[in-house]
A and B are shown apart, each in its own frame.
Chain A
Amino acid sequence: MYFDGHDPRKGQSLRILGPDGVLREDLRPDLSDARVKSLYERLSVMRVADRTALSLQREGRLGTYAPVYGQEAAQASAAFLEPQDWMVPSYRETGALWIRGVPLASLYRYWNGDERGMIFPKGLNALPIAIVVGSQPLHAVGLSWAMKLRGDPGVAAAYFGDGASSQGDVHEAMNFAGVFKTPTVFICQNNQFAISVPRSRQTAAATIAERAWSYGFPGIQIDGNDLFAVYGAMKEALDAARRGTGPRLIEMLTYRFGPHTTSDDPTKYRTNEDVEKHRPEDPLLRLRLYLKGRGLWSEAEEALILEKAQAEVEAEVRSFEAAAPAPVSDIFDYTYPELPPYLRRQRDEAMAGGETHG
């Protein structure tokens, strides 16, 4: 329904729930209102968590952080993966990793420079955060390829941004996926910026979604701030991949309300007016409008939702800040399963403060 009916090469883009909160019933996916409400509550927590990260960073309690403010609906896509699927994130995926099941405290830990944050709960199928832009879609292709070869029913979801789409490795990833027909869903969160460079600078193509055809599979461009479109497109792509019909590309149009990272000054390349123009597209705003129209939301409700979100996030912050410091030996102990002698000597040296000098 969605891929077939919305060809980016024809300028068609999928939107089910618009900024006005009105749903196109003919395009509605099987997403119950109860689930929408529940998701809205989770996305509220996501936003509070994201803003809290910024506050913590300003206070020196967190290191550099890449916010997902404004991209919550697109991040919610990770909630639609099956447990056996694999999530392959970039670095602007804090919301997605959290909704997939990685504790917020772990993610805060990671952004504070504590590598233990990448120790995920057992059985949680997600690869660690990838900093090198565009490096990870290839990994997703390999993972899904393995699942296919083993006969497992899993799909790998590769997350990357509009900037990443210019990297050669992303081209190679999609090309491989097409050739080997791997069960891979490529999710391009197009938030319009790669630090300061606008999306128009990344490619002269009209859309990123249309590139899929050059690799031999279909793509779709959706309104990434529309939770229904996210759900619908994801389900369709995941099912198709799971059925063995090969990879899909979903370009989720969204907007980066926040800075590139907490150390970025966006006023260097965009004005506050530019940002405010996109304010009405806020994914949470339209969900509120929709739920209100369904009698499932009110101002009083909102206060409660926010209060609960605050409490949940604060508990995670406490947990994160209560962690004991990582031992110096951690620098060494993950390099190899067993440390060779020269590395054991270096570890001794490091643990002695580097002053005994081996």
Chain B
Amino acid sequence: MALEFKFPDLGEGLSEGEVVQWKVKVGDQVADHQALLEVETDKAVVEVPAPAAGFVLSIKGGPGTVIQVGEVIAVIGSEAELKALPVSAPPPPAPETPPAPPPRPIAPPPEPYTVERESVGVVGRLEEAPEDEPPPRPAAPAPAPVAKPRVEALPKDRELARRLGVDIDLIHGTGPKGRVTEEDIRKAAALGAPERGAHAAEGVRGSDAFGPVERVPLRGVRRKIAQAMTDSLARTAQVTTMDEADVDSLWRIREKQKAQALKEGVHLTLLPFLVKAVVGALKRVPEMNTFLDEEKGQVVFKAYYNIGIAVDTQDGLIVPNVKDADKKSILQIARELSELAQKSRRRTLAVGDLKGGTFTITNYGSIGGLFGTPIINYPEAGILGVGRLTDKPVAGDGAIRIRKTLPLSLTFDHRLVDGGHAQHFLNDVIRHLSDPDLILVGM
């Protein structure tokens, strides 16, 4: 019984795809899970496997066809069903003995036995121009619309960019003659942009001079992180200053608002408050929201506030950012943080989510640790590390009380930011966290 294969949702909320190429044609025999066709989705070119073994009875659409999820794109059936298909090849030859048509009369040739009309050539038939043929000289070329400037890249790298969902024409090429290289593409896809099957840890067991080892290729996200970290440290002058924030009051606010937020589908943590505090501090200490354009020898002060949040995924660290955090409410930021985290883990981030950050917060406290020396998400000017929330005995007003305390570690690029600025920044963040009323008043 023929199976109608409907284009499946390949995950990630797909609604449609574009056929890149069919790997089989009508009449082919396919095995279960054999690749049937390649489809391009938002981010990647995906192979769609056959749902069953059999013979391909029909396929829908050639390269470039847009197919909808749920649409029948192929029919797979038995050999008998294949044979029963009407043949669409050139028409079968006429039967051997057709009914004799009435003989077509043959007019006698003109006499004398020569050509009567002017003929040209001694063979065949030449096409004659019609009398009123417009001249075939080309018309003035149509004004060509300005082409979008395009980069140069090797075909394999274009393919990579397509797979990674990166617009290659927006990438600044560092290769020969300004060619966009594989490195450029991977960087642009930002640290940890997911690829298909990139991290199969095929370890090769062996041994070195001292004992047994296992060798695993440095690939994918891991490789990107390695590159990014060394880049960051090599190009900047990073210094870290540390302090603690008393977040007891903030904590109570959060506890109080948690249930309400949940009703609106938002999981409220301290992080969105942190984002708001950071944004406020960035506005008051703009040196922390800059970037050093070494080529032009300029310090670029950014007037937008895209706060990156480091997300730990199974592939490694990914840093999507919340755009225009100054314009969003804490609840909005909370919601967005959830979405970004989820997308990061599912590898469904858009390229834009990973670009354009101006400052980063890295929250390692959930795993553990108090203070650290986080590495800047280059080319930003600073990064705020957040450690474990603890109940600490704190002296104040002559008494010792147990207060919820948040350890903060601020790494800043000393090329752009001096210790004073950095400390002012950190003080500002801490002040707002400790006295959340200031956040309210500052809005």
Are A and B a genuine interacting pair, yes or no? yes
Find chain B residues with CB under 8 A from A272 CB.
Answer: 112, 114
Q: Which of B72-80, B86-94, B132-140 contacts A (4 or more CB under 8 A)?
A: B86-94
Q: Which of B188-242 contact A (CB under 8 A)?
A: none
Does A195 make an interface contact (CB < 8 A)? Answer: yes
Establish whether residues B107 and A260, one from each chain, have CB atoms under 8 Å apart when the complex forms: no
Q: Tell me the complex Cα distance, A67–B110, Å.
A: 14
Q: Which residues of A lie under 8 Å from residue B90 when comparing CB positions?
A: 327-329, 351
Q: How far, in whole Å, are A55 and B107 apart by their CA atoms in the complex? A: 6
Interchain CB contact under 8 A, A263 and B121? yes
Q: Is A177 an interface residue (CB 8 A)?
A: no
A residues 163-192 near B (Cβ < 8 Å) are none
- Cβ–Cβ < 8 Å partners of B100 in chain A: 318, 322
Partner of B113, one of A54, A317, A322, A356: A54
Who on chain A is nearest to B114 by CB? A266
Residues of B contacting A263 in the complex (Cβ-Cβ under 8 angstroms): 119-125
Q: Does B144 make an interface contact (CB < 8 A)?
A: no
Closest to A356 in B: B62
B1 at the interface (CB under 8 A from A): no
The answer to the question of B115 belonging to the interface, with a C-beta cut-off of 8 Å to chain A, is: yes
Please indicate the chain A residues that have their CB under 8 angstroms from the CB of B440 in the complex: none
Contact B101 A58 (CB under 8 A): no
Indicate if A321 sits at the interface (CB-CB under 8 A): yes
- With A52-B106, A318-B100 as known contacts, state yes or no: A351 contacts B89, CB within 8 Å: yes
A262 vs B120: C-alpha distance in the bound complex, in angstroms? 10
Interface residue A154 (Cβ < 8 Å from any Cβ of B): no
Given contacts A195-B122, A263-B123, A264-B122, contact A69 B89 (CB under 8 A): no
A322 to B99 CA separation, bound complex (whole angstroms): 10
- Asked if A206 lies at the interface with its beta carbon under 8 angstroms from chain B, I say no
Residues of chain B within 8 A of A195, CB atoms compared? 122
Query: What's the nearest-Cβ distance from chain A to residue B93, in Å?
Result: 4
Question: How far is it, in angstroms, between the C-alpha of A308 and the C-alpha of B325 when the chains are bound?
Answer: 103
A23-44 CB mask vs B (1 if < 8 Å, else 0) is: 0000000000000000000000
Interface size of B in residues (CB-CB distance below 8 Å): 28
Q: Which of A52, A63, A267 contacts B115 (CB 8 A)?
A: A267
Distance, CA A215 to CA B113, complexed state (A): 39
Chain B residues whose C-beta falls within 8 Å of the C-beta of A267 in the assembled complex? 114-115
Q: Judge if A236 is at the interface, Cβ distance under 8 Å.
A: no
Chain B nearest CB from A153 CB (Å) reads: 38
A204 at interface, CB cutoff 8 A: no
B118 interface contact, C-beta 8 A: yes
- Measured in the bound complex, the distance between the Cα atoms of B120 and A272 in whole Å is 19
Interface residues of B in 415-437 (CB under 8 A from A): none
> Is there an interface contact between B112 and A261, defined as CB atoms closer than 8 Å?
no
Q: Is B109 an interface residue (CB 8 A)?
A: yes
Cα(A263)–Cα(B117), bound, Å: 10
Contact B93–A261 (Cβ < 8 Å): no
B148 located at the interface, meaning its Cβ lies under 8 Å from any Cβ of chain A in the complex: no
A224 at the interface (CB under 8 A from B): no
Return the CB mask of A291-316 against B: 1 if under 8 Å, else 0: 00000000000000000000000100
Chain A interface size band reads 35 or more
Over the window 338-357 of chain A, the binary record of Cβ atoms lying under 8 Å from chain B Cβ atoms (1 yes, 0 no) is: 00000000000001000010
In the complex, chain A residues whose CB is within 8 Å of the CB of B107: 55, 58-59
Q: B143: CB under 8 A from chain A?
A: no
Q: Which one of A55, A260, A275 contacts B106 once the chains associate, using CB atoms below 8 Å?
A: A55
Which residues from B are CB-within-8-Å of A324?
93-94
Complex: chain B residue closest to A261, CB-CB: B122
**A322: which B residues are within 8 A, CB to CB?**
98, 100-101
Please encode chain A, from 240 to 256, with 1 for each CB lying within 8 Å of some chain B CB and 0 for all others: 00000000000000000
Q: Does A145 interact with chain B (Cβ within 8 Å)?
A: no
* B103 interface residue per 8 A CB criterion: yes
Say yes or no: is B297 at the interface (Cβ < 8 Å to chain A). no
Nearest CB in chain B: distance from A341 CB, A: 15
Q: A265-B119, A266-B114, A318-B103 are in contact. Are A63 and B108 (CB under 8 A)?
A: no
User: Assuming the A-B contacts A324-B94, A327-B90, are A257 and B104 also in contact, with contact meaning beta carbons closer than 8 angstroms in the complex?
Assistant: no
Q: Are A54 and B123 in contact (CB under 8 A)?
A: no
Q: Residue A124 at the B interface, CB < 8 A?
A: no
Q: A318-B100, A322-B101, A327-B90 are in contact. Are A265 and B115 (CB under 8 A)?
A: yes
The distance in angstroms between the C-alpha atoms of A243 and B106, with both chains bound, is: 47
Q: Which residue of B lies closest to A267 (CB)?
A: B114
Question: In the complex, what distance in Å separates the CA atom of A61 from the CA atom of B90?
Answer: 23
Report the Cα distance A187→B118, complex, angstroms: 33
CA of A257 to CA of B100, assembled, Å: 35
* Closest B residue to A195 using CB positions: B122
Contact A55 B109 (CB under 8 A): yes
Q: Does A103 contact B (CB under 8 A)?
A: no
Name the residue on B nearest A319 (C-beta): B100
The answer, among B89, B113, B123, for a CB contact under 8 Å with A64, is B123
Complex Cα distance, B169 from A238, in Å, reads 80
Quick check: A51 and B124 within 8 Å, CB to CB? Answer: no
B119 touches A257 (CB 8 A): no
Contact with B along A44-58 (1 / 0, CB 8 A): 000000011011101
Give every chain A residue within 8 A of B119 (Cβ-Cβ).
263-265
Q: How far is the CA of A262 from the CA of B107 in the complex (A)?
A: 15
A and B contact pairs by CB, cutoff 8 A, 9 listed: A54-B113, A55-B106, A262-B115, A263-B123, A265-B119, A272-B114, A322-B100, A327-B93, A356-B62
Q: Which residues of B contact A (CB under 8 A)?
A: 62, 89-90, 93-94, 98, 100-101, 103-104, 106-110, 112-115, 117-125
Contacts A258-B113, A264-B119, A275-B114 aside, 20 further interface pairs with beta carbons under 8 A come to: A51-B109, A51-B113, A52-B106, A58-B110, A64-B122, A64-B124, A67-B113, A258-B114, A261-B122, A261-B123, A263-B124, A266-B114, A267-B114, A276-B112, A314-B103, A318-B103, A324-B93, A324-B94, A328-B90, A356-B62
